[in-house]
Chain A
């Protein structure tokens, strides 16, 4: 499981900062958005169940990237990165042998740019779209820097886009900026952008070169009958049952609307 994530992350992490983007624009964007891209630490128990019998639980910590989407500290993260076991089971497909990887999230920490850590909890998840909404729970009321998904734009094929990510602990969680182009656009049943170079982690925001949000890097996954026999390039991921995609800000807002509805219903 870890290997899959590590592999994915390594595929994402390839620096490319060239082309049409002006460095001045990027500097302004960094200033504006860097504090809205945060590291989220997920603590969870993971275990396997074979034919109904549980095997030793391991408690694991993994750090993922999240995008803050409002001033109250609602953060969008990737479900694939948050709960890899759920997606492992999905990718594994059906089998006559009852085998499952299970997990239980036991804690969430949001690591702020000043390295302070605050608790978080999952408010809503959309496993189909790979969107998890996490709410930061600061001890004292605080306003978060955020990326306004309402101010979104569309992208066209081969448009250049900019992504923001956070490096891991070893990289002192510095902001990591990279560019790519839109290599494909899926229109149905919903719109997804597929970037030419998957440079960043799932959960990181993707902007147009004018600085408008396009969407968030996430993972599209599906049960597949393909066997895992090798890997090299993006289409191979797809045949394995998962594909890094940009889910549009518009679609994320649609799901986010359910949180609002549930709140108002209460």
Chain B
């Protein structure tokens, strides 16, 4: 979803950029300066780490957005797609101060979230206030503030272009912005404006020239789109007060009136959800609602849909409401009792032992899956090489696990109870539903073999690096024989190894080396590797224009990276290995430590930008020599819930990285 937001921003904003040149009157400029000065301290840049679920695992996704402090205790309003379900949040104030915060509450249906700044010292934060977005007029000047592309605070200027921005059907099938399965456009009618906004502006304020919040920037469809301030204020206030939002639901889907209908006012029922309050009351698809609780309603255009849905969401629950409708030209009255609206999708979890992510089934999802009830666990992603991905048939996204080893599975806790008992290798009989089919498979749970060392066949080797002497170089040097020049010698100077840097090897055991081009250097090493380890070869060498012959005892080639000892750190999602000869020859000075071999995308090591190939030389200030040292030190820090600081060498640079893991992930 976030990617869709991003793509929409990028594709459509250039149009905005190209055509938004206009002259700005000086009094407007003065106002902008005034507003900027006034509101800037309340606008924050938000950095968040949010969980994402794909390929059978939970990954950490870094998100950057904007927000506005709306309460002096440090409540920040932003978008749900910026901070929703974030596991870590950091706010950067306009003066550059970084303060940790946490995800407080959110509402995917309106894409509003509240982040709370951790305020242990009971500071009073500067705030921005809401204006009345219902009083906005097309053509009115507005200012968008925030941190586009995670830059420091920026503002852009524009005018209100449209007060009823919706994503038109023209964009079908991409005309829905969904968050956690919720269609944001079903509840929100955006304020369209032409103050340019970019990825990173999300959640930032749209301000009028009085410096009041009249919108929360969210999307860009060529025009920028902001959630109306009044809706945002209402949702934010409920979220701050109740840590959540409860809406009413009657179970209908609507669409604008058809042009061919005789009725020119009303709301056309497109669908009635099975077992919903609407169905129970006798409402049917094709009915046209005229009144709800004696209030006339009408949806003639898609722009009218969000207002109607908001009205339904605000209906009192557990109390019959009167619905007047027309069916086949006859007026009917029905009484519907709204109920609490459920979340569309429930929260996902990772089932590590199966290599899948999954969630419990909400009533909405049960309908989507064509299920009669919410029993079972629905798979949301599968690791193709994991136990569930390797099963035959393999589990797939949208499969519903209903039984394991003959025991009924009603929800995720049933699965976790079962998998917690598993240790070592085992196999489980899984009963699952795929659309209308009921299928069986077996999941084999096995030990991970990923750190297994695979030995390399050992060949004879010389501790040197070489380059081929090309014909042109040979001519310039006045050398008539083909050969290779030694560019480095990787051993201490001693009598046992007589070769020196700059020596030109022209023969091996009296035979010419058939090399002409740089890529031929393998020929030299291949020839050497033909000899048994420990045997002696006679090398003809040109040194200072003199021909010399040296007998050299061939060594066994050293261990390569594949054979070096490895360690995978599960919590940090990285793998390190001991230094091997290939690394040592690249280093400028003698070093000790471990080489980073793998950094899983979306893991902690990835979040703090540890790179493959980095050399970790110390952990929390203590030098490390090898994988054993690294493992011992890191595991102790994790056991003690202590933050981890690595000292890293990367090419010619040195840097420190700090990791503050979520300790609950240790479980």
Interface residues of A (CB under 8 A from B): 43-45, 47, 49, 51-61, 93, 98, 100, 102, 104, 106-107, 121-129, 131, 188-190, 222-225, 255, 258, 262
B606 interfacial by beta-carbon distance below 8 Å: yes
Q: Which of B450, B456, B606 contacts A126 (CB 8 A)?
A: B456
B201 interfacial by beta-carbon distance below 8 Å: no
> Quick check: B457 and A126 within 8 Å, CB to CB?
yes
With A and B bound together, what is the CA distance between A57 and B456 in angstroms?
A: 25
> Quick check: A258 and B458 within 8 Å, CB to CB?
yes
> Quick check: A128 and B454 within 8 Å, CB to CB?
no
Given contacts A59-B385, A106-B449, A122-B454, contact A43 B390 (CB under 8 A): yes
Closest A residue to B389 using CB positions: A59
Closest A residue to B606 using CB positions: A54
> Quick check: B601 and A56 within 8 Å, CB to CB?
yes
Q: Which of B457, B529, B598, B609 contacts A125 (CB 8 A)?
A: B457
Q: Which of A56, A107, A123, A189 contacts B527 (CB 8 A)?
A: A189
> Quick check: B457 and A190 within 8 Å, CB to CB?
no
With A and B bound together, what is the CA distance between A225 and B650 in angstroms?
A: 28
Chain A proximity mask over B589-603: 1 for CB below 8 Å, otherwise 0: 000000000111100
B530 interfacial by beta-carbon distance below 8 Å: yes
Q: Which of B449, B454, B518, B526 contacts A189 (CB 8 A)?
A: B526
Which residues of chain A come closer than 8 Å to B389, judged between CB atoms? 59
> Quick check: A255 and B457 within 8 Å, CB to CB?
yes
Which residues B548-593 have CB closer than 8 A to chain A? 562
Closest A residue to B508 using CB positions: A189
Given contacts A189-B523, A189-B526, A222-B522, contact A54 B456 (CB under 8 A): no
Q: Mind listing 25 A-B residue pairs with CB under 8 Å? A: A43-B385, A43-B390, A44-B385, A52-B613, A53-B609, A54-B599, A57-B601, A58-B384, A59-B383, A59-B385, A59-B386, A104-B450, A107-B449, A123-B455, A124-B456, A126-B459, A128-B526, A131-B457, A189-B523, A189-B529, A189-B530, A190-B530, A223-B522, A224-B519, A258-B458
Which residues of chain B come closer than 8 Å to A52, judged between CB atoms? 611-614, 650
> Quick check: A51 and B611 within 8 Å, CB to CB?
yes
Size of interface on B: residues with Cβ below 8 Å to A: 38
B452 interfacial by beta-carbon distance below 8 Å: yes
> Quick check: A128 and B529 within 8 Å, CB to CB?
yes
Which residues of chain A come closer than 8 Å to B529, judged between CB atoms? 128, 189
Which residues of chain A come closer than 8 Å to B390, judged between CB atoms? 43, 107
Which residues of chain A come closer than 8 Å to B650, judged between CB atoms? 52
Which residues of chain A come closer than 8 Å to B530, judged between CB atoms? 189-190
Given contacts A54-B606, A222-B519, A225-B518, contact A107 B457 (CB under 8 A): no
Which residues of chain B come closer than 8 Å to A121, judged between CB atoms? 449, 452
Which residues of chain A come closer than 8 Å to B606, judged between CB atoms? 53-54
With A and B bound together, what is the CA distance between A102 and B519 in angstroms?
A: 23
With A and B bound together, what is the CA distance between A86 and B220 in angstroms?
A: 43
> Quick check: B601 and A107 within 8 Å, CB to CB?
no
Closest B residue to A122 using CB positions: B454
Supplied contacts A57-B601, A59-B383, A123-B455, 4 more A-B pairs, CB within 8 Å: A47-B601, A53-B599, A131-B457, A189-B529
With A and B bound together, what is the CA distance between A241 and B386 in angstroms?
A: 34
Which residues of chain A come closer than 8 Å to B384, judged between CB atoms? 58-61
Which residues of chain A come closer than 8 Å to B162, judged between CB atoms? none
With A and B bound together, what is the CA distance between A46 and B603 in angstroms?
A: 17
Which residues of chain A come closer than 8 Å to B519, judged between CB atoms? 93, 222-225
Which residues of chain B come closer than 8 Å to A262, judged between CB atoms? 455
Tell me how far the C-beta of A48 lies from the nearest C-beta in chain B, rounded to whole angstroms: 10
Which residues of chain B come closer than 8 Å to A222, judged between CB atoms? 519, 522
> Quick check: A124 and B613 within 8 Å, CB to CB?
no
Tell me how far the C-beta of B608 lies from the nearest C-beta in chain A, rounded to whole angstroms: 12
Given contacts A54-B606, A107-B385, A190-B526, contact A49 B612 (CB under 8 A): yes
> Quick check: B612 and A53 within 8 Å, CB to CB?
yes
Which residues of chain B come closer than 8 Å to A44, judged between CB atoms? 385
Tell me how far the C-beta of B42 lies from the nearest C-beta in chain A, rounded to whole angstroms: 35
Which residues of chain B come closer than 8 Å to A61, judged between CB atoms? 384
Tell me how far the C-beta of A56 lies from the nearest C-beta in chain B, rounded to whole angstroms: 6
Tell me how far the C-beta of B405 lies from the nearest C-beta in chain A, rounded to whole angstroms: 21
With A and B bound together, what is the CA distance between A104 and B612 in angstroms?
A: 15
B94 interfacial by beta-carbon distance below 8 Å: no
3 tightest Cβ-Cβ pairs between the two chains A and B: A52-B611, A126-B457, A59-B385
Given contacts A106-B385, A131-B457, contact A57 B449 (CB under 8 A): no
Which residues of chain B come closer than 8 Å to A128, judged between CB atoms? 457, 459, 526, 529
Tell me how far the C-beta of A262 lies from the nearest C-beta in chain B, rounded to whole angstroms: 7
Chain A proximity mask over B242-270: 1 for CB below 8 Å, otherwise 0: 00000000000000000000000000000
